[in-house]
Structure 1
Amino acid sequence: MAESSDVSMAESSDVPMELTTDILSRMPVKSLFRFKLVSILLKNLMESQYFSKIYLENSLKNNNCSLIFKINGTLHRSYLDHKNMVLKLNNLVIPRSFQLSPEQTRKLNQQNSAINDGKLVCERIEVAGSCNGLVLIFSGFHHIALCNPAFERKHGSFKILPCINYSGFEINPKTNCRNQRSNFRVFGFGYDGYSQCYKVVCLTQSKAFLYTLKKNNRLWKEIDLPCFESTTTSIINREQVLYIQAYKHGVVTNNHLHWNITEYDDEIKKFAKETILSFDLHKEEWVQVSVPDELNQGCTEKEGLKLKPYIIDFGVLNGSLSLLTHCLSDDKMNELWVMKEYGVKESWTRLCNVPLRSGIPLVYHRGEDEYLLPNSKGLGWYYPKEDRLRKVKFNGCGYTEDFYVSTQVNLCYESFVNPFTQ
């Protein structure tokens, strides 16, 4: 009787639904799972796309997010709090199918030996991207999954994506999209706001694949590789090659995925042309995004050598495409750039300098004018006006002291998006 009474009271409440939605959209996801048991009305509200949208908008506005990173081969999650300089670590439980036995690993290495020129494949967990609170992870060549880390921490909270058919995976001498490494695979994960569905792109040195998260879709489709004509004329009768940063997965903003590419030549190296490769999630077409003119035109002299700025990292900062650049003539700082108006080259703006050996900032806290900055010393809130770094520490999961945080820490905004309904 008590349960029926609670349901009746909840459903007959005089509180306007708009106010109820606003209150619930500001609460932790963990609490919302308990509230779903209160009444059918609240359950239907919180499972609606409308509520997911409102909840995500509040998370983006208030920097309500967590950090996903790897320590000693395992994934961890920590809720981000600007005021708390000691953050608690929680394990991110991976799917059982990702936990390969030695025999399974040996068989996969044998299967992939032709792909990797006879070299062994290390089956390791990697975070390939995050969008709207969902995180894409993969292991080796055969395991890809999607999860919402804010949901219950159990094996069943991962949506396993189909395997990619790599048949015919080999170096194509005719394509001009390659990498310095003999083999590589990078992903891009984003949401197409026009067709209202999530899409995953996988790039190799010879093929590109696209997967659309739709009901009963079990197939990746092969798509055309990007192919851009070289604009370099300083080297005559010499093939120019575009290199994608193999270690950097794509970042998403403005309905496009992005990768940093370099027009590379053995003789000019650092003087090569920088640009950004972009994939339109709706039109499913490749385009280029121009970088600041300074990166391709401006040169300085040092000890008789011409030195040009170049991109060392890129990402998305508070919804805008951002770059971290460095010039060899500057021994102390990197420069942070942001594209204030997407697709408009002239809108690239230099924001500030950050210390060397730093990665792209993850978050900008407007109230304190601080950037959450990963670097070789860990992770901290950086105040550029005074060149001051407030170091963030972690505890839990057996870690009680400082530890090295990779510059590829992934930021995940809290959301109520269910991967199994996508």
Structure 2
Amino acid sequence: MQQLKKQSKVTLPMDILLEEILPKVDVNSLFNLKLVCKSFNTLISTPEFVHRHLHRSLSSNTNRLVFLNTTTNRGLQLFDIDSLHSPPTHIPFPKAINIQDHIHYFGSCNGLLCMGTVFGGLIMLLNPLTGSYLKIPPNFDSIDGFLLFDPGYGFGFDSLNNDYKIVRITYSDDRMEVMVYSLRVNSWRQLEDKTWDGFAINSNATVSGALIGTHLLHWVFSKPKYNLNLHITQEWRHRIGCFNLTTEEWDQNVALPPDYGLDEVCFLSDVELRVVDGCLCLLVSMKSDLGKTVDIWVMKEYGVKESWVKLLEISTNKAIRTLDIFPLCYRRHDDEILVGRGRKQIHAKHEVEMKWHSIKDRKSRLSEIHEVCEVPQFYEAFICTGSLVTVKGVKDEKQSGGERAEDHVLDVQLDALLYVGVHNLDDISDSLNFNSW
């Protein structure tokens, strides 16, 4: 009998295990494997494997997670795109973060979230799956005067210099100030002040920049129109500005969709910029016979004006605003896009919901999330790729089961850990297949 057992034992080649099998496993399952034996723990913890797992997730468009930033508890609700029938997981904010203000989403990249309070009293990097985090030191004393808009933020990765960066934009009087935080040197740097002919960042709505690739951040900038008496009208002009994290300079403006009706837009919060499956997504709130509609546009080929396509037109007989609408992801086999409708303002009367909207027949249906739970009141919804990229020096609750450490030191050995091989948009475009849109 023992001889039979020995004959039936199969040895799996290590290269197949590390290169073909484990990179396809989700993060939670990998954590369970780390508990099986020391060899698994060592293999899965190496920077090379973290890189391989992340690169596979990005290139195959897998391990996508939906996060809801809720008003009812201090934390995030997590849903897996591939198993929306499963109950959500509650991800509490770090216990050491004792802030009473709402914590907002500033951006995500390579599995790390950048979140904080609007005026920068708190900014942190967080891997919601590993539980590791880093508090970013504030340094915002350089601008004087009354801020006309809330600050705008962005977060991404400079692959040329192997450095994560955070951007903060403020606008006061006639000047715009841009500050960039570098993780490598752990400090903020103020760039040269810039004016855009009266155009100011549209951060009255959403404060986070739209990230394309890992290094191109985008915001909507707006300017009021004046009549012949130099009085401000109710109409605004808009443009999309692009900031390059590698050069730390403003690139050429991204073209807006042709004939998209922005002349009818009366408020800054009627225009939003988001990202859906790696594509720029523009939301425009328009007047209609039913009250208002929100048009959802997608730029299928980055930088090409003619590639803008209007995917959806969401109508309702109730008040609707673009800052409450969150296009999240596209499901190819059903030709549907998942759209969340949150509630930025507590006194708003509409219900929160998550719906699949058909691109082909324009019909909508409640998502599977509604079958397993009552969707909590949320004011932000976003997608993040699950990864093992972690903040070292802070205990992983999944590994330690204890309190997180007070030392907030991020591992800056970025060479292997953070570099994911996405130098341009073509690296992941084949897996996304936007042509069906």
- State whether residues 260 and 276 of structure 1, in contact with CA within 8 Å, keep that contact through their aligned partners in structure 2: yes
2:164 to 175, 198, 206: 198
- Give 1:50-61 correspondences, 5 Å limit: 50-60=48-58, 61=60
User: What is the match of residue 237 of structure 1?
Assistant: none
Corresponding residue SS for 2:49: helix
Deviation at 1:13, TM superposition (A): 4.8
Once the two structures are superposed, the pairs formed by residues 154-165 of structure 1 within 5 Å of their partners are: 157-162=132-137, 164-165=138-139
Residue 124 of structure 1 aligns to a residue whose secondary structure is coil
Residue 32 of structure 1 and its aligned partner are, at CA, apart by 1.8
Kindly provide the CA deviation profile for residues 387-418 of structure 1, in whole angstroms up to 9, marking residues without a partner as x: 2222454699xxx5344333x31211111112
Q: 2:356 aligns with which of 381, 406, 417?
A: 381
Report the AA paired with residue 67 of structure 1: V
Note if contact 1:309-1:327 (Cα within 8 Å) is conserved in structure 2: no
Aligned to 1:88: 88
1:337-416 pair list within 5 angstroms:
337-356=297-316, 357=320, 359-375=325-341, 376-377=350-351, 378-384=353-359, 385-393=361-369, 401-406=374-379, 408-416=380-388
Q: 1:87 to 1:285 in 2, by over 3 A?
A: same
1:293 aligns with 2:293: no
Instruction: Please tell me whether the aligned partners of residues 221 and 239 of structure 2 are also in contact (alpha carbons under 8 angstroms).
Output: yes
Give, as a single letter, the amino acid of the residue that structure 1 aligns with 2:92. L
- C-alpha distance in 1, partners of 2:332/2:193? 39
Q: Answer yes or no: is the 8 Å Cα contact 2:85–2:371 preserved in 1.
A: no
* Paired residue total: 354
Q: Is the 8 A contact 1:307 1:329 kept in 2?
A: no
Task: For residues 171-199 of structure 1, give each alpha carbon's deviation from its aligned partner in whole angstroms, at most 9, with x where no partner exists.
Answer: 38xxxxx74x4xx2221011122222211
**Partner residue, 1:71:** 71
Identify the match of residue 245 of structure 1 among 199, 203, 214. 203
What is the TM-score normalised by the length of structure 2?
Answer: 0.71
Gaps of 5+ in 2: 1-9, 342-349, 393-410, 413-437
Pair 329,390 (structure 1): closer, same or farther in 2 beyond 3 Å: closer
Deviates more, 1:30-39 or 1:274-283: 30-39
Residue 123 of structure 1, CA deviation: 3.2
CA distance in structure 2 between the aligned counterparts of 1:307 and 1:210, rounded to whole angstroms? 31
Give me the whole-angstrom Cα distance separating, in 2, the residues matched to 1:290 and 1:220.
30
Q: Deviations over 1:356-381 (max 9, x none)?
A: 53614111111111111012532222
* Distance apart, 1:40 and its partner CA: 6.3
The 5 Å alignment of 1:10-409 reads 13-36=11-34, 42-60=40-58, 61-68=60-67, 69-72=69-72, 74-82=74-82, 84-85=84-85, 87-96=87-96, 98-100=97-99, 123-139=101-117, 141-151=120-130, 153=131, 157-162=132-137, 164-171=138-145, 179=148, 181=149, 184-206=150-172, 207-214=177-184, 217-229=185-197, 240-248=198-206, 249-254=208-213, 255-265=215-225, 267=231, 269=233, 271-287=235-251, 288-295=253-260, 312-329=271-288, 331=290, 333-356=293-316, 357=320, 359-375=325-341, 376-377=350-351, 378-384=353-359, 385-393=361-369, 401-406=374-379, 408-409=380-381
User: Given that residues 374 and 405 in structure 1 are in contact (C-alpha distance below 8 angstroms), is that contact kept between their aligned partners in structure 2?
Assistant: no
* AA aligned opposite 1:289: V
Aligned residue identity for 1:276: I
Tell me the secondary structure at the aligned position of residue 337 of structure 2: strand
* Structure 2: distance between partners of 1:401 and 1:344: 41
The whole-number CA distance in structure 2 between the counterparts of 1:203 and 1:29 is: 34
Rounded to whole Å, the distance in 2 between the matches of 1:413 and 1:269 is 42
The 8 Å contact of residues 203 and 209 in structure 1, kept in 2 or not, is answered as yes
List gaps (5 residues or longer) in structure 1: 1-11, 101-121, 173-177, 230-239, 300-305
Change (3 A) 1:186 1:395: farther
